[in-house]
Chains A and B, each alone.
Chain A
Amino acid sequence: DVKVTQSSRYLVKRTGEKVFLECVQDMDHENMFWYRQDPGLGLRLIYFSYDVKMKEKGDIPEGYSVSREKKERFSLILESASTNQTSMYLCASSSTRRTANTEAFFGQGTRLTVV
């Protein structure tokens, strides 16, 4: 059974803290994504990666960075957490190999609250 696992379901951090959100997939997927989801705004793409050590900015990268040192793991980093980063964070992965479609598999989400 395919799986994308996010390290925490709920997280509370203080303003100014450095925050790491971890995501691991067991499907050998090339592509991994980080989205944030806010009421009324849907899912917005923060960063994505199409290969190990490769990363590309999404639509709202400000205040975030990412790391992909291994194929299965994609980390989202909030360098200095702020209250406007309180949100639901969703990790996803997909494959673009010849026989695969572009279906994305999602983790269960991390609800981050910055106080």
Chain B
Amino acid sequence: GAGVSQTPSNKVTEKGKYVELRCDPISGHTALYWYRQSLGQGPEFLIYFQGTGAADDSGLPNDRFFAVRPEGSVSTLKIQRTERGDSAVYLCASSDLGLAGDTQYFGPGTRLTVL
């Protein structure tokens, strides 16, 4: 079956611009997660949705970052007033029920470059 997909695969933007990154989870998965991976580091948690609501947004670095999942399926990560330090690979994952023991399945990521 289809896995997690993310668009775009690459995004280059200028400092100060607004960007949106999209994630399509595995069909039927209740939980959706966003992570950020910088070069040479492991993925860093940003936010987790259970259905339409954000169950844990403790990883969002500041109020320039926001994410939505209005219908409980597709999610969009929004970054306002981008900064060069936002450059990273943004990973999305989904899991069946969002339980601690559930496997999180990852998409290929969106590589964001802020010039």
A and B interact? no
